[in-house]
Structure 1
């Protein structure tokens, strides 16, 4: 009996010592990895924001072929969620709790284990850099009291997985950016019409950023004033000085009627009906220069039409990164004004 009592006391002492030891440990962890992605911040954000894209680069798919994924009704933005099951690793779920586009995503991941659910906070931080986008992937949490000693090993356990994930994400995104097609669709008669717009002059290398800001401004006006748009956003190029690196352009949305915009920076314009050479770019906006070069080459190759210097070229964004996360699926229509060429019949006959 005394022997059992001594064993009990020994076990009690061990438990107390273990509890004291665990109390001295920091059970928190915050594992962070960063990679420079050579792509625009909005492109990186939009691809990352949609859980359905994760199947293309998730590092866990390399080691577990039994993963089966089920998506919620919403797969991107705040409230987006998905769950998974696995014959090897078990199941789990993930949810996006907060979005600060295009700078940050905050998510929660929960692993279902025999000992209960284990959750961690996941965060993504995107910073615009000269080279592209600095993408940071962080996973943090607090280990249960009894397993605090495992917190120190999370760096070794999660770090390599994050590094591989960022590598695969980068490779997958670069493949998408390189997939594009450019097709000349011939001569079209564009009907024109009223549109709401804002204009600016800027350096060519600052044009993309200005376009985003201007599109957002017109969209905000349209939304707040319940204006019915009749088409997609577009850019009209008034001047493009390649030698001095400057441009003047307008960004707008087509509307069905003339709208009075007193007290606003948003103006109403009217585009006359005209004849244009139309070119379609399917792919990321980084391929726009190649599309414009091909469009201009096509115009120069025409025999019955020539470039109309009195007109203004424009491009229409059929869809956009907010509703088309895959850059390879973006559609841009390019319109270059042309006019019929008068053929001298006498010179032909001679």
Structure 2
């Protein structure tokens, strides 16, 4: 019995000594993990930059069904936050700064542990090199976990490496699954809208859309203007050689309004027109494939595309409706030139009661307002 007491006392002393040893260890740490993601840089950046996607690839969340995630009203870019809770701890991360498609800076709090988080995205052979780095200070529990896992770097690197592998796997599927359907000739109905127009690089369209659409929507909210459908872009010109397009970013509204002089948000009216419709299901990055297939279709079917504008894209289903890029839907309308037909003959009565043929001319619709 005495031996058992001595052994128990020795165990307690050892436990106290170990606790003191762990508590007095330096709490500062730097952890960095990198992986080449088999997806375009813009796609990877946009996916990581939206906190709604984090539960899908963050290993500490995806592997624990008890965690309850919550998000700030805005989940993208500076000021957005993501919080997760479970029975014994909580975590929070906030985006402090982003540089389009290149880097993200965040602040993470996990129990008593605080760290500065840095993401970088670089084009490389095979896709995008993503580097995830944390610099911070551990609380006691993380020190304990670090001790038994042979160091902080080993502990957090396992989490980061697994999360980056999840990111690669998720994006590989989401960004590679797409389909294109030529719907045929349809009638596009008249639409009133609010717009902001300028010349943009075609490669910057997505970035500009993410900035302009929320601005117009906020304008509608502030002025009690009812929206009437999904955001769309009118391409007045589309020059792939110069990588330039004259575009109008538009939010459809129920009634026609007139904005004040000097406003950078203007009103417009899209008159009804006949169009060749193409549907792209999947990531918007495959838009050029949809344009190419439509061009080939118009050539094969001898369909003449009109000259009023290049085409119109409606974002029928995007990340606000579904987090999976493979489920996104973009509807593209190409104005067409009606086939020449002989004008109808209308007869009128002459003085001598004989019928004299008279050609009736059709009044042209008003021009599209850009």
Same fold (TM over 0.5): yes
Q: Which runs of 5 or more residues in structure 1 are unaligned?
A: 1-6, 62-66, 84-90, 111-118, 345-350
Q: Deviations over 1:39-87 (max 9, x none)?
A: 31213323x5335423xx73898xxxxx66146484684354364xxxx
Looking at structure 1, the residues matched to 15 and 70 of structure 2 have their Cα atoms a distance apart, in angstroms, of: 47
2:59 matched to 1:50?
A: no
Shift of 1:96: 3.7
Task: Give TM-score scaled by structure 2 length.
Answer: 0.70
CA RMSD of aligned residues (A): 4.0
Which residue of structure 2 aligns with residue 115 of structure 1?
none
Please report how far the alpha carbon of residue 105 of structure 1 lies from its aligned counterpart in structure 2 after TM superposition: 5.2
Q: 1:81 aligns with which of 76, 79, 84?
A: 84
How many equivalent pairs are there?
315
Deviation at 1:264, TM superposition (A): 1.8
Q: Kindly report which structure 2 residues correspond to 1:24-63, keeping only aligned pairs within 5 A, or say none.
A: 25-37=25-37, 38-40=40-42, 41-46=45-50, 49-54=52-57, 58=59
Counterpart for residue 69 of structure 1: 65
Q: Is the 8 A contact 1:197 1:252 kept in 2?
A: yes
Tell me what 2:348 maps to.
none
**1:69-218 matches, cutoff 5 A:** 69-70=65-66, 72=68, 74=70, 77=75, 78=81, 80-81=83-84, 83=86, 95-100=91-96, 103-104=104-105, 106-109=107-110, 120-121=113-114, 125-127=118-120, 129=122, 132=128, 134-136=130-132, 138=134, 140=136, 141-143=138-140, 147=144, 150=147, 153-218=151-216
Tell me the SS of whatever aligns to 1:197: strand
Task: Give distance in 2, aligned partners of 1:145 and 1:293.
Answer: 54
Change (3 A) 1:123 1:223: farther
How far apart, in 1, do the equivalents of 2:41 and 2:110 lie?
27
In the aligned structure 2, how far is the partner of 1:145 from the partner of 1:204?
A: 47
TM-score when scaled to structure 1? 0.73
| 1:244-301 deviations in Å (ceiling 9; x for gaps) | 3322111111111222221420011110100111111111111111011112222223
Alignment of 1:219-258 (within 5 A): 219-258=217-256
Aligned pair 1:314/2:324, yes or no? Answer: no
Greater mean deviation of Cα atoms: 144-153 or 163-172: 144-153
**In 1: Cα distance, 2:68 partner to 2:146 partner:** 35
What is the rounded CA distance, in whole Å, between the counterparts of 2:14 and 2:21 in structure 1? 10
Counterpart position of 2:271: 272
Secondary structure, counterpart of 1:251 in structure 2: strand
Which deviations, in whole Å up to 9, do the C-alpha atoms of 1:185-226 show, x marking residues without a partner? 121111122110011113333333233322233223223323
Distance 1:286 1:144, change over 3 A: closer
Aligned 8 A contact 1:98 1:105 in 2:
yes
Task: Call closer, same or farther: CA 1:28–1:150 in 2, change over 3 Å.
Answer: farther
Q: Is the 8 A contact 2:59 2:163 kept in 1?
A: yes
Distance 1:80 1:16 in 2: 34
Moved more, 97-106 or 289-298: 97-106
Find the counterpart in structure 2 of residue 296 from structure 1. Answer: 295
Question: Structure 2: where are the runs of 5+ without partners?
Answer: 1-6, 76-80, 99-103, 343-370
Q: CA deviation at 1:14?
A: 8.6
| Secondary structure of residue in 2 paired with 1:306 | coil
